[in-house]
Amino acid sequence: MKGTIVRRFFIGCSVLLAFVFSSTLPSFATSPPTITPANSYLTAPYTPSVSMTAAAGTIYYTLDGSAPTALSTPFTSAFQIANSMQVNAIAINAGVSSTVTSAFYIVDSHLVLFPPPSAWYLNSFGPAASGKIPEWGDVSGNSENAVQATSANQPSIIADSLNGISAITFNGTSSYLQPPSQVFGGTGVTIYAVVNPTTPTASAQIVNYSGATAPDNLIGLGESSAKAAQFTIYNSSGASPTSVTAPSALPTNLYQLIEVVQGDINSTTATMFVNAAQVAQNTAMNPVPAATLTNNFIGRYSGGSEYFKGDIAELIVYTTPLTITQRAYMESYLLGKYQIAMQAPTVPVFSTATSTLSAPAAVAISAQPTSTIRFTTNNSTPTASSPIYTGPVQIDYTQTLKAIAVSNGLSSAVTSATYTLNSTQFPVPATGGPSLQINVSVPAVGIP
């Protein structure tokens, strides 16, 4: 009988102990809140309201990038975003806090003309001042966050890398990030990359999109075998690649804006710009594929190694071609933001070099598509206020033609050519106007 009583006592104690132990455990983990809209660029003053929801508990948030706590502002209703900022939020339920949900917002009135980019990576509002990062947040609003779960392969954040703005640094041997699938509509593409190649490497890639197996439907911006900026498209793994490549190797330890656009002129023309100056163009490119690409990388080639070594401060991808006006706004925005010096446009090219002409002729002038040509025909040096070239220049007598290209307030060097004509047959007019040409018929028989 005693044994029975003792056994019952211990059974009762076990139940009691189990109850006491379970009652001291914390509640199940609280789900983090959802912030709407997600990371976004916003065009003031047309900024939407920010709202938050949580499965359970009370939401607390901060607007200065700090970690929220139970002492932070409780979320009660939607609010407007007036300035660029980072919003952090947590949900607290039964005294248990969730992980932090973050959303980054860029507010800039200069971007009101733009369609939303497909992906936009920058570190103006990074998750940490330094150290490795497992994720680079996309602020396009499309949730194209680039991730890296393996710590050994994670790039790092470097604070105040350029003009007080942080950047993501890639080691050139193992670090890279992977964006999710990206839909290309086949109409074209525009890419902006603010980069500092600390050690240019043959075939290294800044950003690379491809099908399940590279180079199937591959679109990539990186470095050529000669370490120059290069944009490449494969339409299928069996097809030959086509590329547009800068004429010289990338400078080291120098931030620059590399820009490429395909589809604004036609589907097979790609143009590359460095610091807003056109440096290369290929009119026989493979067209941009109409496909959903899933094998995507930042800092590495989709098909293997070819790691980028250097820093990326900002990367913007449009799956459409931007117009000349839109590109000019974006160039001004990025060059001003990072205080990168614009490059003067290249010199104009004349259809006819210095020569002796047998008769009056028209001389055509060409320059970069984004520049304005200014010219003179009186041997004076052209300036930004000289006549604008709109069509071939007529040369009617001995003249010196000079021209410059002007873009973003910067002028190219002068192109000059002197055209010599017979001064008796084509005399220089006293007023500088076109010569008067008179055809005189002389009789074969003398006048009596």
Query: Is position 201 within any domain?
Result: yes
Q: Are residues 334 and 380 in the same domain?
A: no
Q: Are residues 405 and 294 in the same domain?
A: no
Query: Is position 272 within any domain?
Result: yes
Phi and psi for 151 in degrees, rounded to 5? -60, -40
Count of the separate structural domains present in the chain: 3
What is the C-alpha separation between 82 and 49, in angstroms, rounded?
10
Q: What is the pLDDT of residue 48?
A: 65
Average pLDDT over residues 130-136: 85
What is the C-alpha separation between 438 and 441, in angstroms, rounded?
10
Is residue 279 classed exposed, middle or buried when 0-12, 13-18 and 19+ CB atoms within 10 A define those classes? Answer: buried
Q: What is the pLDDT of residue 20?
A: 38
Q: Are residues 118 and 173 in the same domain?
A: yes
Select the more confidently predicted residue: 92 or 126.
92
Mean residue pLDDT of the chain comes to 84
SS3 229: strand
Q: What is the pLDDT of residue 317?
A: 96
Q: Are residues 317 and 390 in the same domain?
A: no
Domain boundary among 111, 140, 173: 111
pLDDT (tens digit per residue) in 381-405: 999 889 999 999 999 999 999 999 9
CATH number, domain containing residue 387 = 2.60.40.10
Q: Are residues 383 and 276 in the same domain?
A: no
Select the more confidently predicted residue: 125 or 30.
30
Task: Kindly tell me if the per-residue pLDDT of 7 is higher than 50.
Answer: no
Q: Are residues 168 and 233 in the same domain?
A: yes
Q: Are residues 121 and 107 in the same domain?
A: no
Query: Is position 438 within any domain?
Result: no
Q: Are residues 204 and 318 in the same domain?
A: yes
Residue 64 belongs to domain spanning: 27-111
Select the more confidently predicted residue: 8 or 235.
235
Q: What is the pLDDT of residue 197?
A: 93
Q: Tell me the sheet residues that pair with 102.
A: 88
CATH number, domain containing residue 334 = 2.60.120.200
Spatial neighbors of 341 by CB under 8 A, at least 6 apart, are 275, 335
Q: Are residues 282 and 382 in the same domain?
A: no
Select the more confidently predicted residue: 131 or 187.
187
Of 43-47, 207-211, 376-380, the least confident: 43-47
Average pLDDT over residues 123-144: 74
Query: Is position 403 within any domain?
Result: yes
Query: Is position 18 within any domain?
Result: no
- Total Cβ atoms within 10 A of residue 5: 9
Q: What is the pLDDT of residue 4?
A: 43
What is the C-alpha separation between 121 and 142, in angstroms, rounded?
11
Task: Kindly tell me if the per-residue pLDDT of 313 is higher than 70.
Answer: yes
Q: Are residues 90 and 43 in the same domain?
A: yes
Query: Is position 17 within any domain?
Result: no
